[in-house]
């Protein structure tokens, strides 16, 4: 990062940002890429580029853009969100997408412009959606005249788990956002990839949102390291998530949920047999040096990453056995 050549990226003059964007676009099989501050900004730009005020974006009830992006697409773009239920495997049923379409000739209705598919699907447990499904949605979106955007915050986790190139996985989509942070370990940043004209539009929108950064090569350099050296090792995170899950099922008083483990995530909840509640468990584990996250009221999510090794997995399971004994 310290040695990265930099320039003013608002003028497109930062060679490190340019290198990151080209590399990201190539890995996603798209024409161009745009370095953005976060996954949230990448998804927001994609929606703003496609939908005008009063237009509609179809997504899952468990979709990150619906649940956890502060309603930005509606607040900033006047975009209507039309949610349909995520299936247990994280997918959106093609028939539900078809049925969610508005009638473009009826002046009472918003106009359906895009569909967003999340892969891996975070709130459904970190599940992967296979190439066949992604292709099916691509065909359907084409038929319905919808832009197909992939929220691929963890698309590399999906690609590693499915043993497929990420470009193949998102081939049927027009655009994809992925995070350099999360499992790829960069401190900051995501990349939005898509056709050249779409990315040019997003560059203007990024500037409008205050996301045009000057000598951003300093942080883009970490993104290049992420793409060059952090992808293959995601398999280790997935293996450790499986080890966590195998250890957890042996502990009385808890049960795995959401089909865990999936990719780098394990979800579980306490049963009526447990000797303590969720908040006590979180507090007790924090005292022992482990941070647990409870995205729902009674469900806990564990995520493995580069800084959690085999020793940490063992130590975690030991602490859990102790506290639930
Ligand atoms: C599926 C998904 N999409 C988008 C995001 C947003 O990423 P960021 O936190 O970089 O805004 C997240 C973050 O957890 C996510 O899980």
104 CA from centroid of ligand 1 (Å): 32
d(CA 316, CA 312): 6
Return the pLDDT at 286: 96
pLDDT value of position 297: 78
Question: Distances in Å between the alpha carbon of 161 and those of 199, 231, 262?
Answer: 28, 11, 9
Q: Residue 57: which of 90, 86, 97, 89 has the closest Cα?
A: 97
Could you tell me how many residues make up the chain? 325
Q: Residue 118 CA: which ligand 1 atom is closest?
A: 1
Q: Looking at ligand 1, which residue's alpha carbon is closest to its atom 16? A: 122
Question: Residues 132-191: pLDDT tens digits?
Answer: 999 999 999 999 999 999 999 999 999 999 999 999 999 999 999 999 999 999 999 999
Q: Can you give the pLDDT at residue 293?
A: 87
Phi, psi values for residue 251, rounded to 5°: -95, 120
pLDDT attached to residue 10:
97
> Is residue 38 within 6 Å of ligand 1 at its C-beta?
yes
pLDDT over 90, % of the chain? 98
pLDDT for 295 = 81
pTM of the model: 0.97
Nearest CA-CA partner of 33 in 56, 12, 52: 12
Instruction: Domains for the chain: give ranges and CATH numbers.
Output: 9-229 (3.40.640.10), 234-324 (3.90.1150.10)
Determine contact, residues 262/255, Cβ cutoff 8 Å: no
| Residue that is written with structure tokens 């130590």 in the block | 315
**Ligand 1 pocket, 186 CB below 6 A?**
no
What is the β-pairing status of strands 175-179 and 190-194?
A: antiparallel
Q: Candidates 64, 90, 116: which one to mutate for ligand 1, based on the most atoms within 8 Å of Cβ? A: 64
What rounded mean pLDDT belongs to the chain?
Answer: 97
Regarding the beta carbon of 86 and ligand 1, being less than 6 Å apart is answered no
Q: Is residue 298 pLDDT above 90, yes or no?
A: no
CA of 158 to the centre of ligand 1 (A): 15
- How much is the pLDDT for 296? 76
User: C-alpha 171: how far from its chain's center?
Assistant: 17
Q: Write down the pLDDT at residue 272.
A: 92
- The pLDDT tens digits for 48-104 are 999 999 999 999 999 999 999 999 999 999 999 999 999 999 999 999 999 999 999
Ligand 1 lined by 14 (C-beta under 6 Å): no
192 lines ligand 1 (CB under 6 A): no
Q: How far is the CA of 66 from the centre of ligand 1 (A)?
A: 11
Phi, psi of 254 (to 5 degrees): -145, 160
CB-ligand 1 contact for 127 (6 Å cutoff) = no
Ligand 1 centroid from CA 177, angstroms: 9
Cβ(125) – ligand 1 distance below 6 Å: no
pLDDT digits (tens, 9 = 90+) for 251-285: 999 999 999 999 999 999 999 999 899 999 999 99
Q: What is the pLDDT of residues 198-254, one digit of tens each?
A: 999 999 999 999 999 999 999 999 999 999 999 999 999 999 999 999 999 999 999
């Amino acid at each position: 990062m310290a040695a990265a050549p930099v320039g003013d990226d608002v003028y497109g003059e930062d060679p490190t940002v340019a290198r990151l964007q080209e590399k990201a676009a190539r890995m996603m099989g798209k024409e161009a890429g745009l370095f953005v501050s976060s996954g949230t900004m990448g998804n927001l730009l994609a929606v703003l580029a496609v939908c005008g005020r009063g237009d509609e974006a179809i997504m899952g009830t468990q979709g990150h853009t619906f649940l956890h992006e502060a309603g930005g697409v509606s607040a900033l773009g006047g975009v209507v969100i039309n949610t349909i239920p995520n299936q247990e495997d994280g997918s959106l049923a093609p028939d539900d997408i078809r049925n969610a379409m508005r009638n473009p000739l009826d002046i009472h209705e918003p106009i359906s412009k895009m569909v967003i598919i999340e892969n891996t699907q975070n709130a459904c447990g970190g599940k992967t959606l296979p190439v066949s499904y992604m292709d099916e949605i691509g065909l359907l979106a084409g038929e319905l005249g919808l832009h197909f955007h992939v929220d691929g915050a963890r698309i590399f986790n999906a690609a590693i788990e499915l043993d497929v190139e990420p470009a193949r996985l998102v081939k049927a989509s027009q655009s994809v956002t992925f995070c350099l942070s999360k499992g790829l370990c960069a401190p900051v940043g995501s990349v939005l990839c898509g056709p050249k004209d779409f990315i040019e539009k997003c560059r203007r929108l990024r500037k409008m949102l205050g996301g045009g950064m000057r000598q951003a090569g300093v942080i883009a350099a970490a993104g290049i390291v992420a793409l060059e050296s952090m992808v293959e090792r995601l398999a280790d995170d997935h293996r450790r998530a499986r080890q966590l899950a195998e250890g957890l099922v042996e502990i009385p008083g808890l049960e795995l949920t959401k089909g865990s483990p999936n990719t780098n995530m394990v979800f579980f909840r306490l049963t009526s047999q447990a000797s303590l509640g969720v908040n006590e468990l979180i507090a007790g584990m924090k005292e022992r040096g482990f941070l647990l996250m409870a995205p729902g009221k009674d469900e806990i999510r564990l995520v493995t990453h580069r800084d959690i090794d085999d020793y940490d997995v063992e130590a975690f399971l030991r602490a859990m056995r102790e506290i639930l004994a």
